[in-house]
Amino acid sequence: MTQDPAAAGRPAVYTWEPNSNSGKPLFVLNEKGAAGDAIGFDYHYVSLPDFEQHAPEFLAINPDGTVPALVHGGRVFTESTPMCEYIDAAFAGASLVPSDAYSLYRMRSRCRRTDKAAEALSVIGWHLFLGPMVRSKPPEEMARLIARIPTKERQISWQTASQATFSEEQLTNARARVGGYVKELEAELARSPWLAGDAFSLADILTFANFYALPGGYPEFATESFAPHVLDWLRRIYARPATAKTFGMARSIARRAFDIARGLGSPMAEVAHV
Amino acid sequence: MFELYGSGDPVTLKLVICLEELSLPYRFNSLDLQKLEHWAPAHRALAPQGAVPVLVDGTRVMDDAAIALLYLADSHPEANLLPAGPADHYAVQASIDVLDAALLASVNLIGWHRQQPAEARAAFTAALNAVPGRQTAAGWSAVWRDAESDRLQRAAEKLDGGVARIEAALGRGPWLVGGGPTAADISAFALVETLPALLPDSIDPGSTPRTWAWLERMRARPAVRRALTSAARGGAPRYAPPQ
ipTM for the whole complex:
0.93
Contacts (Cβ under 8 Å, ≥6 apart) of A33: A39, A91, A93, A242
Pairwise CB contact (< 8 Å): A174 & B138: yes
Which amino acid is present at A192?
Answer: S
pLDDT for position A3: 47
Give the burial class of A167: count Cβ atoms within 10 A of its Cβ; 0-12 exposed, 13-18 middle, 19 or more buried: exposed
Pairwise CB contact (< 8 Å): B138 & A176: yes
Give the burial class of A138: count Cβ atoms within 10 A of its Cβ; 0-12 exposed, 13-18 middle, 19 or more buried: exposed
What is the value of pTM for the model shown?
0.93
pLDDT digits (tens, 9 = 90+) for A170-228: 889 899 999 999 999 999 999 999 999 999 999 999 999 999 999 999 999 999 999 99
Among partner residues B71, B154, B161, which is closest to A105 by beta-carbon distance?
B71
Contacts (Cβ under 8 Å, ≥6 apart) of A244: A238, A268, A269, A271
**Confidence band for B243, pLDDT divided at 50, 70 and 90:** confident
Pairwise CB contact (< 8 Å): B67 & A112: yes
pLDDT for position A2: 40
Give yes or no for residue B147 having a pLDDT over 70: no
Give yes or no for residue B204 having a pLDDT over 90: yes
Q: What percent of chain B has pLDDT over 70?
A: 95
- Of residues A32 and A6, the one with the higher pLDDT is A32
pLDDT digits (tens, 9 = 90+) for A20-33: 999 999 999 999 99
What are the chain B neighbours of A120 within 8 Å (beta carbons)? 138-139
What are the chain B neighbours of A177 within 8 Å (beta carbons)? 135, 138
pLDDT for position A1: 37
pLDDT digits (tens, 9 = 90+) for B64-103: 999 999 999 999 999 999 999 999 999 999 999 999 999 9
d(CA B75, CA A186): 29
What are the chain B neighbours of A76 within 8 Å (beta carbons)? none
pLDDT digits (tens, 9 = 90+) for A112-168: 999 999 999 988 988 888 888 888 888 899 889 888 888 777 787 788 778 777 888
Question: What helix, strand, coil percent values describe chain B, rounded to 5?
Answer: 55, 5, 35
Pairwise CB contact (< 8 Å): A75 & B87: yes
d(CA A34, CA A12): 18
